[in-house]
Structure 1
Amino acid sequence: MTAAALRVLLGAILLLLNLAGVADAAAQSSPLRLGYLDHPGSALCLVADLKGLFRAEGVQVRLVRFRDTESGLAALAAGRIDAGAFAVDETLSQIAGGKELRIIAGGGTARSADPLADLDEAATLEQESGGIVVAVAAPRRAPGKEVLVRFVTALIRAYQSLQKEPGGVGQGAVHFDPNPDYRRIERLWRFHDLQGEGRPRDFLASHVYEEIYCDALDRLMNRTGTKDGVLQKLFSEAVCVPDCCPPDTKKRNKNKGGSR
């Protein structure tokens, strides 16, 4: 086979692989129904929708507003929505109570007006408990992995957008972070004493899909290389802990700190 013929063959293979990824996302029989609250921490979801970032990533999303986390999580558990941006403390309580929910992304946390509050660990954890995380139902009812990666990619792009606003929105009264951040969630889990006697050590780890976020971040880094400072910062902080991903998902081990 000549070099020219080989290049044509490789090009055709790459095109087919790309079309397969597009087809997987387009295979949504209906839009992903995303629940959210009138809470500043839901801004990543709202910005991604308003700026067309979900569409740009090839995923259909329909927003559904809820008055509180309790009703939103009930809708998620019942299959009336596919994902929800709700309060982390109530989400963790539902997980501890046996609800099959998986956290795939972070959101926003309101900051205290008192700068000394950051020095008090208990006050900080109490504050973070009211922050937003994005969760989906158990794997058998959740959207496919490719759809979720595209969905979280849009949330990261929304975060980029907010960080580049004049004044740095992420540095104001609300701290935004698209990373589900297992380590932070585990601190909240312990703070609220949700582990319980006899519960498997890795119980919480099996309910945090950090790999979805890592794959989405890798995808964006591959697009921009090292040109985007916001992505570089996220990438430097995206260290998945051992056993952070469910046993039925692909595991990777990278030395660059992006995922495991």
Structure 2
Amino acid sequence: MIEGFRLGVFSRGTTLWDGLDFAFGDAAAWFVTGPPSSGKTLLLSILRGERRPDAGDVVVSGESLYRGNAALARAWRASCGHVPEQTIADARLTVGDLFRRSALAGCGVRESERKDRTDQLLEMVGLQGALGWRVAELSISERGRACLAAELLRGPKVLFCDCLVAGAGVLYWEMLWGLFRALAREGNTVILAERRIPERWALAAGNPVPVGPFRVYRLPDPAAEGKGEPG
């Protein structure tokens, strides 16, 4: 369980938002939507233990990230997967380098299995044979999908994604829908920040919970009956 209590952010001399409460249960896929400049990226940074909120606290499995041991926030941040909205890379960085960095961070996959796992992940996101491609030359969709695949190599129990769905494009929505629900089915937690989610996804998720400028959706339980597979 990831909980935010009375979270507040003050920016450029004004209050961006204040007094917000969030609760993200385990083994589920969540969407946080909000208008431009509402602080979605900031919220993900706070939940990941990267940016201390100006007010309030984040509690993970009953432990405070910001009012307890600082080592806890560092360990939490290191354990989480993260797909940022913008990946700034030097011109020499390749997709293969993303996977090597992921392996160095501790992916729990033996060297003998890593290549097969890497190939499987790239195929899953539609990037077969992309290991040698330069990240700086990829499209927004390709870059997001490559970063997602590299993060999945680590097998994080919690995955944060910033505008991944919008960047991936309509052609990959069905794949992402199935992937997010599969991760939840396996006991993982996925938290995604987007301006909006595909209409059919929103209909399947049901009414969102309003939290300040945000709307929080929970994708339906993968085991629930009578739910289709929106694209």
Greater percentage in strand? 2
Greater percentage in helix? 1
TM-score by length of 1: 0.28
Q: Which has the higher contact order (CA 8 A, sep 6+)?
A: 2
For the pair shown, which has the larger CA radius of gyration, 1 or 2?
Answer: 1
